[in-house]
Amino acid sequence: MIGGDKFWFPHSVSINPLHAGGGMGPRHGAPVPSIAEVLDKRELIRDSNGREVISNTRVTVPIDTDAPIGSLVTVWPDRPALSREATVLMLGRDENDPPLPSHLILWLT
């Protein structure tokens, strides 16, 4: 990989993936750390229901990361003054041929 993981994913996040549940409905899994690129930026997007909503943060993570819509993501976990938990509103895939990494893009509340 060109420049290694730190070049493409210089930050870290913690993800509590949302999993479909049985009779008790969907549940969040245990927190899983992930390398990431975090960009605090307000964007007007459409959520999975087609409603216009504001996303305050965009996070890029490796393509194999488990982070479906509705997952909880803690951004800036190592910076207490900035750390916060947000919900995945929308996600996108960016698949690339090597040596570029493929990744998921998560738009958060």
pLDDT by residue for the chain (109 residues), tens digit each? 444 688 889 999 999 999 987 777 889 999 999 999 999 999 999 988 899 999 999 999 999 999 999 999 999 998 999 999 999 999 999 998 888 889 999 999 9
Quote the pTM value.
Answer: 0.88
Nearest residue to 30 via CA among 75, 65, 71, 86: 71
- Cβ neighbour number for residue 108 with a 10 Å cutoff: 23
Q: Is it true that the peptide bond before 99 is cis, omega within 30 degrees of 0?
A: yes
Domains contained in the chain, number: 1
Nearest residue to 16 via CA among 86, 79, 105: 86
Structural domain span for residue 86: 4-108
The CATH number of the domain holding residue 85 is 2.40.10
Residue type, 96: N
Is the CA virtual torsion 28, 16, 29, 46 positive or negative?
Answer: positive
